[in-house]
Amino acid sequence: MTCNYLMIDVQSVSSFANASTTRPTITYDSHGNMTSTFSYDAGTSGSIVIVRAMYYWPVISGPLGFSISKDASGRHLLVATEVSKTEPYSQSAT
């Protein structure tokens, strides 16, 4: 497993209806370097949070050139998505 292929995206949304769980669009520059940016916004108490963990899995071609790769680089994007609402909490000063 190569850490360079691991991407984490954390977003906070206002409602479950606004939670997009679609596959992210990955963009590249002319040299093949990924230009997509992901955020980290865990929200606050009671927030609805979307966490996506993505990994570019290297794919070896099968017989007769069959490949499940969806990417010109020969990798397949694996995505795990979790949507949840954080517990209500209060921040206390100590």
pLDDT digits (tens, 9 = 90+) for 20-72: 888 787 777 787 677 778 889 988 888 999 999 988 887 776 666 666 656 66
Q: Phi then psi for 13, rounded to 5 degrees? A: -125, 165
Question: Which residue is it, tokens 């794919």?
Answer: 59
**12: nearest Cα among 78, 91, 86:** 86
For the question of whether the overall pTM of this predicted structure is more than 0.85, the answer is no
List, edge to edge, every strand of the sheet that includes 48-58: 6-13, 48-58, 75-85
Amino acid symbol at 24 = P
Q: How large is the average pLDDT for residues 75-79? A: 80
Numbers of helices and strands, H then E, in the chain:
0, 3
How many angstroms from the chain centroid is the CA of residue 36?
11
pLDDT, position 58: 77
